[in-house]
Amino acid sequence: MIKVSIDALGGDNGLNVTIPAGIDALHSFADLFIYFVGDKDIITKKLAKYNTAKLNNRFEIIHASEVVAMDDKPSIALRRKKDSSMRVAINLVKENAAAACVSAGNTGALMAISRFVLKTIRGIDRPAIMAKLPTHKGHTHMLDLGANVDSNAKDLLEFAVMGSVAVSETEDINKPTVGLLNIGEEEVKGNETIKQTAELLKHSSLNYYGFVEGDDIYKGTVDVVVCDGFEGNIALKASEGVVRLMSASIKESFTKNMFRKLLAVIALPALKDFKSKIDPGQYNGASLLGLKGVVIKSHGGAGIKEFWHAIAEARIEAKAQIADKIAGKVEQELQKSIHLTNGANNE
């Protein structure tokens, strides 16, 4: 049985999303067990609305008296809300009761509490956020997406190792290709950190592809795109922004007049079909890599289907024992590159 703890009160939609998504996931996966964490009374009431007879008691409610708000400062969430649904859900992973935790709560708080409770893997300075992104070929993975700024070459090497292990273990790719995000200007091929990182990656045992540019992300040039969280976050949000702009423009052009509105109804299947290919929901569930345990961050505004995807991702990572696998590989890789990183970091 794969046990996953869910921060049932996290996110913009709380129970209205986490409970039905959890029930759906239990129906989808016979090997799944869920701890719903939050106020016992209200969770019980909510669960009563669903037919859970066939689920063979594959879930349990764990009480937590507090909730981390979406705008709580991470430090406040960490120090003042020790009985929050988020904290208790993470505690279950720490105590080995659950193999993974899922939360749609605020990212900063989730990262801070996860680091404090679970600690980072030996050799990893800071965890990184990795997500799947759609490509012309299927999907790729990118990290870090905003947990770290000013990453040095050793940090970026760690991201590469973590991403590579996670992808090879969860996606059945033997040696995932790893690309380092850079810019295309000829004589200014990247900054110093990027050049140092490229050296480390060349000497690593990873399947290093070389530099990739912003548009390579969506071409699917590599399996893992590595970058500092500053660029990663900006690239991701810029992409989301332009996708929203395109969607709004399409919608607008199909509502211009009566004929077009009618046309939109007929064209709907084609437009839906297109959307399903780059459906953000399908890509919900970012991984906090580098922790001694599996933590999955769902979008705060996720709907039921989206949150289901985050639970599915937690189940896969828990099953693959990602955290242990990363720990093994990191030690091996960092040992090997110690003389290189020493050189790189002294500059």
Which residues, numbered 215-274, are part of the site for a copy of itself (CB under 8 A)? 215-219, 227, 229-231, 233-246, 248-250, 252-254, 256, 260, 263-264, 266-267, 269-271, 273-274
Residue 186 is a binding residue for a copy of itself (CB under 8 A): yes
Residue 187 is a binding residue for a copy of itself (CB under 8 A): yes
Residue 306 and residue 297: Cα distance in Å, rounded? 11
Task: Determine the length of the chain.
Answer: 347
In the complex with a copy of itself, which residue's Cβ is closer, 214 or 343?
Answer: 214
In this structure, are residues 142 and 49 in contact, taking their beta carbons and an 8 Å threshold? Answer: no
Which of 2, 47, 69, 278 binds a copy of itself (CB under 8 A)? It is 278
Residue 80 is a binding residue for a copy of itself (CB under 8 A): no
Residue 112 is a binding residue for a copy of itself (CB under 8 A): yes
Classify residue 55 by its DSSP letter.
G
Q: Give least dist CB 209 to a copy of itself, A.
A: 16
In the complex with a copy of itself, which residue's Cβ is closer, 48 or 270?
Answer: 270
Residue 184 is a binding residue for a copy of itself (CB under 8 A): yes
Query: In terms of Cα–Cα distance, which of 226, 242, 206, 193 is closest to 345?
Result: 193
Q: Give least dist CB 73 to a copy of itself, A.
A: 6
Q: What are phi and psi of 320, to 5 degrees?
A: -85, -5
Stretch that binds a copy of itself, among 52-60, 114-122, 132-140, 327-335 (CB under 8 A): 132-140
In this structure, are residues 193 and 127 in contact, taking their beta carbons and an 8 Å threshold? Answer: no
In this structure, are residues 52 and 59 in contact, taking their beta carbons and an 8 Å threshold? Answer: yes
The C-alpha angle 68, 283, 319, rounded to 5 degrees, equals 80
Query: In terms of Cα–Cα distance, which of 171, 172, 168 is closest to 207?
Result: 168
Residue 191 and residue 184: Cα distance in Å, rounded? 12
Residue 39 is a binding residue for a copy of itself (CB under 8 A): no
Which residues, numbered 192-211, are part of the site for a copy of itself (CB under 8 A)? 192
In the complex with a copy of itself, which residue's Cβ is closer, 39 or 72?
Answer: 72
In the complex with a copy of itself, which residue's Cβ is closer, 30 or 183?
Answer: 183
Instruction: Write out the DSSP string of 118-139.
Output: H-BPTT-SS-EEEEEEE-SSSE
Residue 48 is a binding residue for a copy of itself (CB under 8 A): no
Q: Give least dist CB 236 to a copy of itself, A.
A: 7
Which residues, numbered 288-347, are part of the site for a copy of itself (CB under 8 A)? none
Number of residues in contact with a copy of itself under rule CB under 8 A: 69
In the complex with a copy of itself, which residue's Cβ is closer, 73 or 119?
Answer: 73
Sheet containing strand 286-289, strands side by side: 59-63, 32-38, 2-7, 100-103, 294-297, 286-289, 128-134, 139-143, 224-226, 177-181, 207-212
Query: In terms of Cα–Cα distance, which of 231, 206, 169, 194 is closest to 334?
Result: 206
Binding site for a copy of itself (CB under 8 A): 73-75, 106-108, 112, 134-136, 146-150, 181, 183-188, 190-192, 213-219, 227, 229-231, 233-246, 248-250, 252-254, 256, 260, 263-264, 266-267, 269-271, 273-274, 277-278
